[in-house]
Every structure is written in C-alpha cells, then in structure tokens.
Structure 1
C-alpha cells in the first residue's frame, strides 16, 4: 500500500532544541461520577453524568476560589486543584440496561507548552472543548494532510471537530497516533482490534483573547491554533496559555463477545459529541513558575522541581472524593440501570441532536435513529441497520525526532460542508484491518525535498523555519511487535515518546 505523508520539519537556525517541553498531570482516580457541570448547567443538576477529576470542592456552582479551598485533589500534585470533567463511556446491554465502562487509571491531562510567552491560566479561567449535540463529522474523510488545511477546513469550527480522538489500543501492534480518528469505533471494530481498550482524547484551545476569563458559550474567549495542537493563533487570540490534552482509557475489552453497544453518557453512540470542561484551580504564580521552569522533555512530574513539594501517593489521590449534592443521592450513574443517568435518550444522528432536559424530570428514553424514533426495547437487533458508521480515520498527528507530522490514507473523501450544524455522513461501511507498520525515512536537509508550505516564527530567542514536506512512505500489513511489548503514547513531541504500562 502507498500512503502520502506530510513532514512538518522544524529546522532550527540555532543550536537550540526545537522540541517542546510538557508534563503529564496524573489524576489516578475520579473525585466522582455525577450529574455535575458547573459551566453548562450552573446551579442545577446537569442533564447527563460526568467523570470528574481534580479538586474536591466541585458542585452545581463552582469557582476557582472554591477549588483552591479544596481539602484535597485526586491528581498527583496537590497544588493542582483544577476541575477536569467529561462524559463517561457506558455499555448498553441487549436487555436495555446501562453500566459505566471501567475507566483505566483515571485521567492524564497533558500540559503542552507550545508557542512562546505562555501565560499561566489566570484566576477564574474556565473553558470547554467539544459539542455535546454533534453527531457527525462534517468534513472530508479522512483528514487531508496539514498542508491542505485551508478554507473551510482551517476554520475554528473545523478545528474543534479535529480536536477529538478515539485511539484503538492494542499493545501487540504499533500504536495509533493521537487524534487519529474523530469518531468512536463501533463494537464490532473494538472487539476485533482494540485488545487493550479505547483511549478517548480531547484537545483544548490554547489561544486566548487575553481579556475574558469565560464567555456565555465557554468557547468564544479561546481559539485553536492552526494545527489544533500547535500552529499559529488567529487574530485577536494571540495570547498563549498551556495546551491541555485529556487522555482517558476505557476497558472496552471487558465486553468482547457481549451483545450490546457503547454509548457516551450524553446519549451519544457515535463519539462526535464527546467533550470536556476545565476550571483552573492553580495559583497562577505557581503555574507560571512551572511553565517557565519545567523544561524536561520526559513529561514526568518528578522531573519538575516546582512540583516536588506537592507530590502525593496514588492512595491519597483515590481517597479524595467530592461531596455529592443531596439532589443526586438517588442517581445511579455507575449502573447497571434501566436508563442512562438523568434519563438521557440515545440519539444517533447524523442530524444535530436535540437538547437534553435538565434533571431527573427528563422524559422516558427514546432511541433517535436516522429513520424514526423508537421507544426503549429489550433487543438491539435494529442497531446494525441504524448505527451511524463513517470511515473518517483522521490524519495522524505524531512526531519523529520532534517534528510534527500528518499522514493521509489515500481515499475518496465524502462531500464536505462549511456549516457546523449541517453535517454530512459517509455511506461507506466500516471495515476491519490490521494496524499498518509505517516505515519513514529520516527527515534530512534535502535540496530535492518537495516543500509545499513554509512558515517562520521565533521562540526563546531562536528563529525557526517550519517547512511542510510531501514525501512517500510504504507500509507493510500486518505489523508485528515482540510479545509483551506495551506502550501508551501521545507521540507529538518526539518519536516514540511514551512509557510502558
């Protein structure tokens, strides 16, 4: 098979290291699983459940001061009392009951230090990423190479959709790159391919207008850089804040051979409506010190001296739990239960999902399919005919020796749309293939290189030229790796960055 690869090589004009420092904030346990969302549903029970991590003092109304007053944090650094939350993955059994899928290791929140003059989140800063009502990917699939991200594909609504990733984990194969696919693979695919679960990934905007701590939609004060993870900030959003990246692993392998389907707790069986929220619980001066001094490329918290006085054990993280509001005492968000927590209906799309009702007075669950709306039934025999399936395995966003890269499988894209609320669905059927082994030649300073785009920027007193080169690589299928080899990686900063688990 022949693939096309765009190598965005960072060529330094000095001896400075162009790779970007970062750290992984480990939050090994949830503080709670509850219908709490102080951003979108402030003052009342949320319309769907979330896995919540970080500072203990999160409730229907939550401020940075509340979080800073938390007695504990479920994250490895006690000084990080931020609130991180996202809808949880559930499994719907053939009898119609739902249960939360086992979450492996809590959440990892990557703090990626892209750009220059990065400013710590100011006190009171909050934002969200994703769109809970989205049920389709409204761009050509798969993602084109980064060099071709122009026009509609470079608009903010498009970058928001590309900020979602669902990584099929199989530690016996080469790992998929971060943000590789923008939809949740269906159960047939996960059973056959994802032996070690599915990693949910979510990138947050890192370009800020420098003024607003929040906006009514919790998005308009921030924007994505041109490559989602990195790149150029749009006009009016030149201030850079740390780039947040959520990574959560779900043990979908627990359900191999079990009849049913995976559904996110907001009623989304497609993955397009996955989202996440953040309220900063850092003292800005401490976070700024970490941004300025934590320059290790390992990503390990232990390599940052700023965090050393605040490190705690995993047992202490697990012991930190939120105080559940009395209004939620009768909720069963873990299940098994007859309905999703909050009586949330399952809506397949591809149309934009109907808004959910808040609280426990929501109507009885229904299944909204492209054809009609069906009442809850004990059998899922209709799922194969109504399940929205698309083939949009997105561009790889990985790294080789510190170089940003994007890969595209040669395929005929479906029609695209510039309207975020007018999504287009592919009619192609999902297929199961082994993960390819990708062989990539070293990127060298080559006069014959096919450079398709060039940008220049400065960082840390050094000037960098970013050249996007079109090259050809070849793959061999299937990929083989030694038995027992396992890795979990984000692969954006340098080749094979990751760790054994």
Structure 2
C-alpha cells in the first residue's frame, strides 16, 4: 500500500482527501448572505451545513450553530448552490428531486511544490462560478492538460473548466470523469443516456492571496485556481495553498423521462455555464488545520480521520433551516408558473441580465437553447447493435504495477480490426476497440507516457485515473492487425463513497 500511495501521489499530486457527506439539505430557499446580504436572494439555492444559516449569516453565526446537516459535527460551514428545476411544456416549473444531498470534497493537493496547505482562516468566504455567464470560450472537448497553452491558463478559462455535468449511468463500465463536460446536456441526451440522473460539479479556487483578506467585495478576488484547475501551480500573488473544495450534487433527471420540457437552473440558466456555488467556512481553524495535517489517507473516508465526530444520516436529516418570515410561504419546490423569484430564463450566448427578485419574467420556448453535441471521452457512444467483445488483459509496464487496469470495452463499431474512440476529434479519448471476430492476441503496449489524471466516483467507489498515451496492436483473423496511437484510462480504486 505504501508503494501504491507513492505512485498515486506522483501521478496526480493527491496527498490526501476526504468527502464531507452532507446527506440532507437544510432546505431550498432564496437566501444568499454573500450576494444578497440581509435581503431576499434573486434565486433559490439548495443549502447545507450549520443550522444558523440565514440572510445575514457569517463566520461567528455558523460557528455558534447547534447542529449541522453535514456528517462531521465539527463542520458548521455553509455550502450552497442554485437549485435545479424542470419546466414542463405547459409552463409550470417544479424542482427536480435531489439524490443524497451533496458531497463536499476536501482535496489536499500542493501541485508537487511541497508547500504547506493551510486551513481556511476565520471569516473566510468565497464564490466560484458566474451566475450571468451563458457561453463557453474554450475548445470542445477540452484538450489534455499537458497541451494547455497560455490561452487555457487564464483564470477566466480555468474557471470555465471548473464546472462539470456528469451523466450518471451506474451500469456503464467506464463512467464519465469529473469535470469532463462543462455544459448542461439537453433533455433528449439526459433521457437516453443518464439513467441515474446528473451530477453537478463545481471546483473552487485553492490559491489564496492573504494580503487581500478573507472576504473582499465580490468574494472572488482573493482566490485563484492553480494551473490545472484542481491541481498544479498557484499564480503569482496567490502563494497560500488552501484545501481544494469540490462540490457534487446529484439531481434525479430520470424522473422526467418521457415528459416534454427542459431542465433549468434556478438562476434562469438552461445552459449550465452560469452554474456557481458559495462557501462560508464554519470550521474552528485549529480543528481544520489538525485534519489537514493528520488526515492524510487516500481513501477519503471520514472514519479514517480521528479529528471528526461523526453523525448518522437520521441526525443529519433532522437539521433544518429556520426560514425567515418573509419566505415562509414561498413554494420553491413548485409546481409554480415561474422559477422562484420569477427569474427570467435566459439562454445567451450573451450574459444574462441581473435577475432581481420580483422582476417580470419573459417567456422562452424550450427550444431556445441547444446544448453542444459532443460525447465525453470516458463514455462510449454505443450504436445498435452493440459489440460486446472484451479484450484480454493489458500488459502493464512496471511503473504502473499498482494499478488495476480497466477492461477496454467495445463501442459498437462493427468492422474488423478497427479502432474507435467516443470522440474522433479528441486527443483525450479513452480507447475503445471493436473486433469481429474476437481478437486472437492480447493488446500490447510500448509503455507510453502519462498525459493526465483525474478523480471520479461511481456506484459507491472512488477511482483515481491516469490517462496514458500508448501504441496498441490488435490482431484479428483474417484481416491482420491495425495499429493506432490512442489514450488509455488506467483506474485505481482509492476508496468507497458514502451517502449516495
């Protein structure tokens, strides 16, 4: 295990992480003490954390919370994102069911610098994402990290790639990786492919400019992304490394299969580009620093950290928001004739106008926005009839000995000795091979090189993935061999997932 841990750290910069399970929301309400302090917020949010959350909540309020909807009693932080809704063809709108609350990952990554990771200081607040954004400026699909040039390393570009919309199908042997799709798929794609819903993902900046303070106006200028979004080197002026915060929230889009309409985020965004999240630390600094320093397991399990006092799921579910009087009668769940706050649905590509509470909401047809149509590389596009042949075990080079190599599965290409990827134009695609008849020789490798890594969770397990470029040879009778350069995803199980 020591050797495996060393290899994993060298490949991905992951020294440790834990998953803070916030199994049940405090509630869904138009409350946002960062953007709309002391007021009714412009749009609704799903909220987790300390029970003292309110339109005026700050660090001292959260620390004084009697309880939290998150699993570790020591974590009184506030975590919130926009809620997720479905607009029916008759114009009525209702909230989509949430599956299992949310997970807040704390990644302890130093970008290979060896620098100390510091706990969030008292009073620390930040926002990730831009509620008014309705376009994407980067290449689709995203190139491998090893090829990112200056245009992809700006903070604006990195922030675009800090959003993820993960299509969930637990029967798929190769799930989509985290942060691989940066837009909300349209309903037809969700109905056909995402049998277990969609997971909305958000990575927060992990580099801090201490001189800028803990909560400057706008709650963004004091932090920055490292140059690989979740890992890598911090930019000049942002030298303090913080835990890498990462939100996952699952929504039950499968409940709306066959129903006519569109999905939309509560800020009026049907594209996903305007997804965002907020965070106010509710940790005692010494407690969080102790966890950062001592909870260095690779499995992500809270049970592995003696710093935390853990709650049961019923205890978390019992913690609810004290709703302000002027919001007690608001029905954010619906069905209603408009989004909470009467927010306008705006599909862009120009930035959305500010959505102020009470503003008249214009109507938009469901067809006003068309999601980009590309396939994320880690999930094959399967044609009918699908080819189900599996290749023999891959011959691993010595440095990858601690990995268990995932089988390569057919992607439905019927021709003999053919190499297919789920996105032909993508240089980051995993390899899928369809062979008729079955191959008579194993896949061979020239060793290749690691070109990128990622972490994802699937069906109760956490995997660390190394993407490696290799030459492969497939021999099939009677047509001989085909040789192509492609990328292979190597998966290593690093822990089990809780609460979902």
After superposition, the C-alpha distances for 1:95-145 in whole angstroms (9 at most, x for unaligned) are 111111000000000001101300000000010111111111111111011
How many pairs does the alignment contain? 417
Given that residues 190 and 253 in structure 2 are in contact (C-alpha distance below 8 angstroms), is that contact kept between their aligned partners in structure 1?
yes
Aligned mates of 1:388, 1:82 — CA distance in 2: 37
Residue aligning to 1:118? 117
Residue aligning to 1:315? 314
Given that residues 141 and 393 in structure 1 are in contact (C-alpha distance below 8 angstroms), is that contact kept between their aligned partners in structure 2?
no
SS of the equivalent of 2:86 reads strand
Distance 1:438 1:304, change over 3 A: farther
Residue aligning to 2:81? 86
Distance 1:285 1:493, change over 3 A: farther
| C-alpha RMSD over aligned residues | 3.4
Shift of 1:436: 7.7
Aligned mates of 2:99, 2:240 — CA distance in 1: 35
Query: How does 1:222-233 map onto structure 2 within 5 Å?
Result: 222-233=223-234
Hey, which bits of structure 1, 4+ residues long, moved more than 2 A? 9-20, 391-397, 400-403, 407-413, 435-444, 449-453, 467-475, 491-501
Shift of 1:389: 2.1
Residue aligning to 2:425? 411
Structure with the greater alpha carbon radius of gyration:
2
Q: Which runs of 5+ in 2 are unaligned?
A: 380-399, 405-420, 435-441, 453-465, 475-488
Aligned mates of 1:96, 1:472 — CA distance in 2: 53
Distance 1:14 1:246, change over 3 A: closer
SS of the equivalent of 2:336 reads coil
Aligned mates of 1:442, 1:242 — CA distance in 2: 40
Q: Which runs of 5+ in 1 are unaligned?
A: 1-8, 368-373, 375-381, 414-434, 454-466, 476-490
Distance 1:160 1:402, change over 3 A: farther
Residue aligning to 2:263? 262
SS of the equivalent of 1:24 reads strand
Aligned mates of 1:131, 1:62 — CA distance in 2: 21
Given that residues 205 and 224 in structure 1 are in contact (C-alpha distance below 8 angstroms), is that contact kept between their aligned partners in structure 2?
yes
Query: How does 1:121-160 map onto structure 2 within 5 Å?
Result: 121-160=120-159
Given that residues 135 and 353 in structure 1 are in contact (C-alpha distance below 8 angstroms), is that contact kept between their aligned partners in structure 2?
yes
Distance 1:58 1:281, change over 3 A: same
Distance 1:45 1:392, change over 3 A: farther
Residue aligning to 1:245? 246
Given that residues 269 and 347 in structure 1 are in contact (C-alpha distance below 8 angstroms), is that contact kept between their aligned partners in structure 2?
yes
SS of the equivalent of 1:342 reads helix
Residue aligning to 1:218? 219
Shift of 1:60: 1.2
SS of the equivalent of 2:340 reads coil
Shift of 1:311: 1.1
Aligned mates of 1:348, 1:160 — CA distance in 2: 19
Query: How does 1:442-481 map onto structure 2 within 5 Å?
Result: 449=448, 470-471=469-470
Distance 1:74 1:151, change over 3 A: same
Distance 1:438 1:224, change over 3 A: farther
Residue aligning to 2:50? 55
Given that residues 181 and 395 in structure 1 are in contact (C-alpha distance below 8 angstroms), is that contact kept between their aligned partners in structure 2?
no
- Asked whether 1:390 is paired with 2:372, we answer yes
SS of the equivalent of 2:316 reads helix
Aligned mates of 1:222, 1:15 — CA distance in 2: 26
Mean CA deviation greater in 216-225 or 282-291: 216-225
SS of the equivalent of 1:171 reads coil
Given that residues 134 and 347 in structure 2 are in contact (C-alpha distance below 8 angstroms), is that contact kept between their aligned partners in structure 1?
yes
Given that residues 145 and 408 in structure 1 are in contact (C-alpha distance below 8 angstroms), is that contact kept between their aligned partners in structure 2?
no
Residue aligning to 1:186? 186
Given that residues 128 and 275 in structure 1 are in contact (C-alpha distance below 8 angstroms), is that contact kept between their aligned partners in structure 2?
yes
Aligned mates of 1:193, 1:13 — CA distance in 2: 31
